[in-house]
Chain A
Amino acid sequence: MTDTRTIRVHVNGKAFRGEVETRLTLVDFLRHELQLTGTHVGCEHGVCGACTVLVDGASARACLMLAVQCDGAEVSTVESLASGAGLNALQQAFRDCHGLQCGFCTPGMLMTLTEFLRDNPDPGEAQVRDVLSGNLCRCTGYQGIVDAALAAAKRMREVRL
């Protein structure tokens, strides 16, 4: 009963070509086939946002996509954010502003905000809260996350100047 297809995808810049089951979700593909366990599964029904990744630059719920749907695509996960041993500006802002507690929702938050800040370099608090309303966090009450997004936007604007 296992139905498989061959796919080619680029994940965080690295090429993958291989056989996957057609029913395999993108998040299970990333986590279990590629051992990229940074992307988390919080609900498997598209509400919590913990599994958010970028597919061809746009945020997507990796629990609601099948791996085969990513054939030919470029996927970015939380593992792509920092180069080398450090943290990028957004990750650093999360640390500075206490934007995480258990850290389970964090990869999804980071990916959602990566896309958002790319497209909205100077957002207001209400806009940040609006975009974050697609990601659940049970620990932080969101305040640290909102502060981190605003702080990162500011820092990124300064770097660009």
Chain B
Amino acid sequence: MSLTGFGASAPRKEDPALLRGEGQFVDDIHFPAMLHAAFVRSPHAHASIGRIDKSAALALPGVHAVFAFADLPEPVRRQTLPLLVPHPSLRAPRMPYALAKDEVCYAGEPVACVVADSRYIAEDAADRVEVAYEPLPAVNDCRAALAPGTTTAHAEADSNVAARFPVQVGDADRAFAGAAHVFRERIYQHRGGPFFMECRGAVARYEKPTDAYTLFVSSQGSHRLKRCLLDMFDLGDHQVRVVTPDVGGGFGPKGSFYPEYVNLAFAARVLDRPVKWIEDRRENFLATHQERDQYWDMEIAVDRDGHILGLRGELIHETGAYVPWGIVLPWIAATTVPGPYVIPSFKLDVVSVYTNKIQTTPVRGAGRPEAVVTMERLMDRVARELELDPAEVRRRNFIRPEQMPYNVGIIFRDGRPVTYDSGDYPACQAAALEASGYDGFRQRQAQARSLGRHIGIGIANAVEATGLGPYESATVRISTSGKIVVYTGATPQGQSHKTTLGQIAAEQFGVGLDDVTVVTGDTAAISLGIGTFAARTAANAGPSVHLAGLEVALKAKTIAAGMMECLLEDLELADGYVRLKSAPDVRKSLREIAVRSVGMPGFSMAGELEPGLEHTAHFTPAQSAYSNGTHVAEVEVDIETGAVLILRYTVAHDCGRVINPMVVDGQVIGGVAHGIGNALFERLVYDDQAQLLTGTFADYLLPLATDVPRIDLVHLETPSPLNPLGIKGAGEGGTIPAIAAIVSAVENALAPFGVRIAEAPVTPQRIVELLGSHALGRTR
């Protein structure tokens, strides 16, 4: 293993520029004559729109234009934003227009776009745009939204149901009829947001000579954004280029297509100047997609020994005002519930519901944390009722490694049966328990309790579908300067693609990481791409780089064999040369070979080879690969203040073969922190008219350095058989079981008071409420 190749904790290529303040984030991009946009956003969660008076705004010096829906060009006015993942169960898919047409359906929905010399002036002008709103009743709760004859989130709609669909495995009702025990839990997971540190933003340019747009945008998928723009403006492939510079975090919602981007592109063309828009944090709270918000009403049937016989129930999922990602969230949630356990029968009725809030689309974990909270709460319930150790109940129900590959019996969102490719779930839990000192906990707990301290432990297991298809692209090219460049459609937001994909290529050519440049997220550099979300890049782009690199390496050797008049088998690649194994001094540089490969003007190509030292691969996995993990949280709860201190946090994680252990550890630890936020603090409070009351980081609390403990990590490696490198995804594995483990630990700590928790977050305030007189008794 080299210091920088596959499996090495190579230092990141991304770091030096970012550490010197030389990163190029979208707001760092500046063009001469650039203008700045600000949006007029609806103050109402639901209203119809009448006249829009722009005159006062336009009168302000420095204002160049104010656009409302009627000012948009024809193909844009004709259609709503594209629905990314349609599904037959979506009866009436609602999507927004680029600017609100005659109705606004959440507070923060863009109504008009102002373009001015500076952001300061654009905001002044936005304040002066007068919109005649006719407020309509707003729907703020997805359960209430299901009541017959209730208010609808869209005025014209006859109900708030976006989609209904069943998930079914075996005969659950029969399993319940014959069960020794049946337990029921109602579980709620509250919405949270991505809250990346860099808000969204974009700069649009229009080039008259080529009649083409360029959009620099802080996004997770340049190619998808490009396709959306082509659709909106009805353009040819050559007319849009989307480039993603450094991106300050994404966590899901930067993968969506937003109305602001359409407006910027349009403004840049009509004003013939570059136009920039950078979302501010207030807008980010109102207008960037969020997630979670699910109510589960579930029953579990078990036999006398705690073996699961079946699960059944209902899932109410809040989609918010629109459905850009269709039903992927409730679908992923529903299919993740079984997790690492043998579940012979399963029946779930899923309903996705419109409300007048910003839409919910995937946020780190994408429906899986909710599913894991649900399943693990049920497991804890079984343990409690049967007086078994929570670890033992889980042990009894694990899918065994010899059952792999294991077909769960459900169809996943990629259209394939959920079939776990590999993994050793009992070993994973055992490793986590061992590392967390689980066996000694009951003693620690008794001791703490005797001192009046309330500590608790919680376990959560999860299986995560990763490496979602359809493919991710990579071109490996050696230019005539001899430099190796990898182009990929994957679009990083901190996951270190330039390092990890570079490591895979460096390995192929026997060079150092410094000799490889990785270009990400530019639609002009590579024609196809999907983007970075759902822990998919390493498992898709990784194999693509590997396969493309193999082809190019073979071609380099073939050309060199011709130049050196020797056999292919006698050659090897090292340090930027193809050389004779037996006499390393006899060699040709990649530069010479690359020059030879492109041919000379007017001369025939030698041999049968296609010109150029490059190859593009689109690795297309047959199905998702399944990572898994066990989290064990040990917490202490202060019963006077409701504060939770995480004393110890252990993760055992299996994401197949690891390209760069340092990077994977960082992804997992960062993910746990996100889960800690969701478990303990992050709460978006809305009033009964669906107005957000927590719109700053002073009200909506992200976890701090003092909230996140040091995290102990154990890695297990069961390679995936689905790709040539054995990789599975790692980007969300830290978040998915974290909420469940922490909620479970808090409940365990409060067991002497009979406190039961079936919700997240459990904020200090909520804990004090749940403790009731036990808490108040102390503080009074």
Binding site for B on A (CB under 8 A): 21, 23-24, 31, 35-45, 47-48, 50, 77-79, 81-82, 87, 91, 94-96, 98, 100-107, 110, 128-130, 132-133, 135-146
Contacts and interface: CB of A to CB of B under 8 A. Distances in A.
Given A96-B11, A103-B494, A143-B708, 4 more contacts: A48-B197, A102-B196, A104-B196, A138-B673
In order of increasing CB-CB distance, the 5 nearest A-B pairs are A38-B21, A104-B248, A102-B494, A103-B18, A101-B494
18 contacts: A37-B21, A40-B25, A45-B698, A48-B197, A81-B20, A87-B16, A94-B19, A104-B197, A104-B248, A106-B19, A110-B19, A130-B705, A133-B706, A139-B197, A140-B673, A141-B672, A142-B705, A143-B669
Main SS of chain B's interface residues?
A: loop
Nearest to B29: A37
A39 B706 contact: no
A81 B20 CA distance: 7
A98 B20 contact: no
Contacts of B42: none
A124 B57 CA distance: 55
A44 B674 CA distance: 22
Given A47-B696, A104-B25, A21 B246 contact: no
Contacts of B698: 45, 47
Taking residues whose C-beta sits less than 8 angstroms from the other chain, chain B's interface range is 35 or more
B27 interface: yes
B710 interface: yes
A126 B144 CA distance: 46
A48 B15 CA distance: 21
Nearest to B707: A133
B166 to A, nearest CB: 36
Interface stretch (B295-303, B391-399, B630-638, B658-666): B658-666
Contacts of B246: 102-103
A23 B124 CA distance: 12
Contacts of A143: 669, 708, 710-711
Contacts of A82: 19-20
Contacts of B281: 42-45
A23 to B, nearest CB: 7
A136 B704 contact: yes
B247 A102 contact: yes
Contact of A43 (B11, B248, B697): B697
Contacts of A136: 197, 697, 702, 704
B19 A95 contact: yes
A11 B424 CA distance: 57
A45 B696 contact: yes
A72 to B, nearest CB: 24
B711 A102 contact: no
A129 B248 CA distance: 22
B266 interface: no
B662 A95 contact: no
Interface string B700-717: 001011101011000000
B705 A103 contact: no
Contacts of A140: 666, 669-670, 673
A40 B28 CA distance: 9
Nearest to B278: A41
A143 B703 CA distance: 13
Q: Tell me whether chain A's interface is mostly helix, strand or loop, or mixed.
A: loop
Contacts of A144: 666, 669
A155 B544 CA distance: 41
Contacts of B25: 37, 40, 104
A40 B20 contact: no
B255 to A, nearest CB: 15
A107 B21 contact: yes
Interface in B667-723: 667, 669-674, 696-698, 702, 704-706, 708, 710-711
Contacts of A141: 666, 669-673, 708, 711, 734
B21 A79 contact: yes
A136 B281 CA distance: 13
Interface string B1-42: 000000000011011101111110101101000000000000
A44 B280 contact: yes
A37 B29 CA distance: 9
B249 interface: yes
B21 A98 contact: no
B195 interface: yes
Nearest to A92: B19
A103 B23 contact: yes
Interface in B180-235: 194-199
Contacts of A133: 704-706
B120 interface: yes
A137 to B, nearest CB: 7
A138 B196 contact: yes
B345 interface: no
A40 B199 CA distance: 11
B67 interface: no
A102 B15 contact: no
B261 interface: no
A67 to B, nearest CB: 12
Contacts of A107: 21
A100 B705 contact: no
